[in-house]
Amino acid sequence: MSLALPAQARHQPWLVRYCAVALVFTTFVLFAGAFTTSIHAGMAFKDWPLSNGSLNPPGWISDEDMRAEHSHRLLAESVGFLSLGAMVWILRTEKRRWIRRLSIALVLMIVFQGILGGSRVLFDKLNIGSTSNVVAQTFAVLHATGAEITLCLWVTLTAALSRGWIVHGVGATPVSATVCRWAALAVTLLFLQIIIGAVVRQGGYALAVPYFPFSGPGHELLPPGWNWGVVVNLAHRVGAGLVTIALCGLAINVFRDPAARRQLGAWMAVILATLVLQVFLGALVIWTLKNPDAATTHMLVGAFLLASTWLLTLLAHRAVWWPNAAAEYAIPSDAATPAASSVVTRPA
């Protein structure tokens, strides 16, 4: 697979900084959404897109549930406007077609995210008079999954606009096919694990098996009773084990391959440290009987683990998707300096 690059791509440091700020705001949105779910404040307002019929509902700052939900909505709107700004900026200045398309896809994804979040509210059983909340929970799981996709889109955009990508050719030296396969496997398993985790969170199944690392009070490997909540909870635990195996296999192959070790070794070490923290936080959620802070941090660190692994996967595949055919890259940034006007030959 080859994604062709244009003859010239210009590094724009202020655009990269803009995307980095948007990435930080996206992290805040994830945190606010996770905390809202952790304290069961998703229905603090029964309407959408307004909150109690207002853009600034009275009393939202003093009430914890309202503050959590309305902050989540305000931050999400901010990221939406930031994505529009990034798209306009990129369409006006960026020559690479795939980057231009990615900026449009990001805006569409965020719009879709807003619709999913609103549907989660509008189709809640409190609004539709149902005895079951399956419809709202389905929208909530899709909304949570979409948030992770949005994060990865921002990571991709920021990385591809960076100086390291354009000028220095980070990831341009091919790594072994084995590293690429392990990276793809790890990020796929992580994404599936995120989906199962969303089902656990939205369905309230975190304590369906209230023991860890075992599944029963007598150190049983399997729980004494079974229901849908137990099945989903155990699936999340099994998924954590599979993700751990995949990331350890990826790390072994990264450190064995000289090219991968040089380009990805430091980032791989960060991912492994994050994995250890994430497993501890998962256990802490159970040990503290789903403390809201522990549950929120567990979700946020899981998102960082996915985004980090996706970035490593992107860099590992860079030489495959963007081959080393010579292309002219303009080193110049937005500042007009003698050095900035020079053009050198860099790997694609």
**Is 1 part of any domain?**
yes
Do residue 38 and residue 183 come from a single domain?
A: no
**Is 4 part of any domain?**
yes
Give the residue among 301, 251, 296 at the shortest CA–CA distance from 276: 301
The confidence score (pLDDT) of residue 167 equals 72
Separation of alpha carbons 5 and 262, rounded Å: 25
Tokens 């945190």 found at = 31
Separation of alpha carbons 153 and 176, rounded Å: 25
3-state secondary structure of 33: helix
**Is 330 part of any domain?**
no
* Token code pair at residue 204: 């309230």
Separation of alpha carbons 284 and 278, rounded Å: 10
Listed residues 121, 137, 168: the one ending a domain: 168
**Is 334 part of any domain?**
no
The confidence score (pLDDT) of residue 164 equals 83
Do residue 112 and residue 250 come from a single domain?
A: no
Do residue 313 and residue 179 come from a single domain?
A: yes
Do residue 7 and residue 102 come from a single domain?
A: yes
**Is 346 part of any domain?**
no
Do residue 278 and residue 220 come from a single domain?
A: yes
The confidence score (pLDDT) of residue 168 equals 62
**DSSP label at residue 54:** B
Do residue 39 and residue 81 come from a single domain?
A: yes
**Is 220 part of any domain?**
yes
How do the pLDDT tens digits run along the chain, 348 residues long? 444 444 456 789 999 999 999 999 999 999 999 999 999 999 999 999 999 999 999 999 999 999 999 999 999 999 999 999 999 999 999 999 999 999 999 999 999 999 999 999 999 999 999 999 999 999 999 999 999 999 999 999 999 999 888 876 665 678 899 999 999 999 999 999 999 999 999 999 999 999 999 888 888 888 888 999 999 999 999 999 999 999 999 999 999 999 899 989 999 999 999 999 999 999 999 999 999 999 999 999 999 999 999 999 999 988 766 554 334 344 444 444 444 333 333 333
Do residue 163 and residue 76 come from a single domain?
A: yes
Domain that holds residue 230: 173-323
The confidence score (pLDDT) of residue 345 equals 37
Stated as kind and residue range, the H or E segment containing 74 is helix 64-93
Listed residues 168, 198, 217: the one ending a domain: 168
Q: Give this prediction's pTM.
A: 0.88
Listed residues 105, 138, 168: the one ending a domain: 168
The confidence score (pLDDT) of residue 346 equals 39
The confidence score (pLDDT) of residue 314 equals 93
**Is 333 part of any domain?**
no
CA separation, residue 218 to residues 9, 229, 232 (Å): 62, 20, 21
Do residue 286 and residue 246 come from a single domain?
A: yes
Do residue 225 and residue 128 come from a single domain?
A: no
What is the crossing angle of helices 177-203 and 228-256, to 10°? 160
**Is 336 part of any domain?**
no
The confidence score (pLDDT) of residue 320 equals 66
Number of domains in the chain: 2
Give the residue among 86, 49, 88, 89 at the shortest CA–CA distance from 70: 49
Do residue 107 and residue 3 come from a single domain?
A: yes
The confidence score (pLDDT) of residue 339 equals 42
Do residue 135 and residue 178 come from a single domain?
A: no
How many residues are given for the chain?
348
- What is the widest separation between alpha-carbon atoms in the chain? 73
Report yes or no: 121 and 46 within 8 Å, Cβ to Cβ: yes
Do residue 142 and residue 248 come from a single domain?
A: no
The confidence score (pLDDT) of residue 11 equals 82
Q: Cis omega (within 30 of 0) on the bond before 49? A: yes
